[in-house]
Amino acid sequence: EVLKKIIEYIQRQDEKIVLFVLGDHGMTADGNHGGALPEETNAALFAYSSEPIFHKFVSHNSDGSISAV
């Protein structure tokens, strides 16, 4: 919900904007972090750009996502 509001704000701007949101570690369902489990070592990365960045270099899936760059 928070990212949705931020993207809506960015889309209303006249400037070119790139947003990166990332975590430094994951967390298990019970709140543990810093261990060796995949839930603790994997971290999220979200990127949004008001203009295409990689459109000349990658192909998109049918849903608009990119499998790998």
Judge if pTM exceeds 0.85.
no
Each residue's pLDDT expressed in tens, for the chain with a length of 69 residues: 888 998 899 889 988 888 898 888 888 888 888 788 888 888 888 888 888 776 666 666 777 676 665
Which pLDDT does position 12 carry in this prediction?
Answer: 92
29 burial type by CB count under 10 A (0-12 exposed, 13-18 middle, 19+ buried): exposed
What pLDDT was estimated at residue 5?
92
Q: What does R_g of the chain's alpha carbons equal in angstroms?
A: 16
Question: What confidence score (pLDDT) does residue 47 get?
Answer: 87
The pLDDT value recorded for residue 60 is 65
